[in-house]
């Protein structure tokens, strides 16, 4: 399941006691609870300190791992990164972040409010004077833009980045540039091969544009009560409550019964 706007409340919390009960029941039935998010692995892991064996699909599918092994890692070449950063120079309202295996990186000349906001979502975050300083494997470029410009910027980026990266909206003014063909649905299919679980035997929960492929691919795609019409249109079902009302936990409880 997706995290922001789906599993987590706005303050990044969830009903931990209730989740513990549901997780114990899922474990008893040999069911896997998998986190699938555009966020950084380190940030996602911090939400589940009592569950060391969870599997995380991070960076919109570019990085799949648990505490013991890496299942998938899709990194950009230096030439691809250079091309993407050159394209982004034509979008002055966008602020850029590189998300790597070891850390995320933002430019030090960004305003402190932006850097603090990125710290909220990237537990490992470094500031650099130039992206040329970064010595890491880059999984994704994250863009922050004005909320009302998000859809237009996504469309404007498609052609100049064709064959190099796929722009996908996470909502709330956030856009991810990820490898073509790398998304949450592809990641679940890859993970399913490892776990011997078919896509049709999976249920997925989401609320944003980057969840659409995942919700369409699985046997039961559940949209949150608070989703956009585009997400609702492709879902098999929706929760009765939004993320603040713990809609995922309510739905899971019903599903397990």
Active-site amino acid positions: 2
CA distances from 144 to 154, 156, 176, 237 (A): 11, 15, 9, 30
Cβ proximity of 215 and 208 under 8 Å = no
Cα separation of 257 and 196, whole Å?
Answer: 24
6-11 contacts at long range (C-beta below 8 A, 24 or more positions apart) = 6/205, 6/206, 6/207, 6/211, 6/224, 6/243, 6/248, 7/35, 7/205, 7/243, 7/248, 8/47, 8/243, 9/243, 9/244, 9/246, 10/243, 10/244
Q: Where are the beta strands (DSSP E) in 92-202?
A: 95-100, 104-107, 125-128, 138-144, 166-171, 174-178
Cα separation of 124 and 108, whole Å?
Answer: 15
Angle between helical axes of 247-256 and 16-28 (0-180°, round to 10): 30
Give the pairing type, strands 55-58 and 63-65: antiparallel
């Amino acid at each position: 399941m997706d995290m922001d706007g789906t599993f987590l409340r706005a303050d990044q919390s969830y009903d931990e006691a209730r989740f513990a009960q549901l997780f114990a029941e899922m474990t008893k039935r040999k069911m896997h609870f998998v986190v699938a998010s555009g966020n950084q692995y380190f940030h996602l892991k911090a939400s589940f300190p009592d569950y060391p064996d969870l599997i995380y699909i991070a960076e919109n599918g570019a990085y799949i791992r648990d505490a013991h092994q890496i299942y998938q890692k899709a990194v950009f070449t230096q030439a691809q990164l250079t091309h993407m950063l050159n394209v982004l120079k034509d979008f002055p309202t966008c602020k850029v972040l590189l998300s790597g295996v070891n850390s995320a990186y933002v430019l030090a000349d960004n305003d402190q409010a932006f850097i603090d906001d990125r710290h909220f979502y990237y537990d490992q975050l470094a500031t650099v004077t130039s992206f040329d300083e970064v010595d890491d494997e880059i999984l994704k470029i994250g863009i922050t833009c004005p909320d009302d410009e998000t859809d237009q910027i996504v469309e404007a980026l498609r052609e100049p980045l064709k064959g190099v990266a796929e722009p996908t909206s996470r909502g709330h003014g956030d856009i991810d540039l990820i490898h073509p063909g790398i998304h949450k649905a592809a990641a679940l299919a890859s993970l399913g091969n490892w776990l011997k679980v078919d896509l049709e035997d999976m249920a997925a929960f989401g609320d944003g544009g980057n969840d659409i492929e995942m919700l369409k691919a699985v046997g039961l795609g559940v949209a949150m009560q608070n989703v956009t019409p585009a997400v609702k249109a492709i879902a098999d079902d929706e929760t009765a409550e939004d993320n603040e009302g713990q809609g995922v936990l309510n739905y899971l409880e019903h599903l397990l019964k």
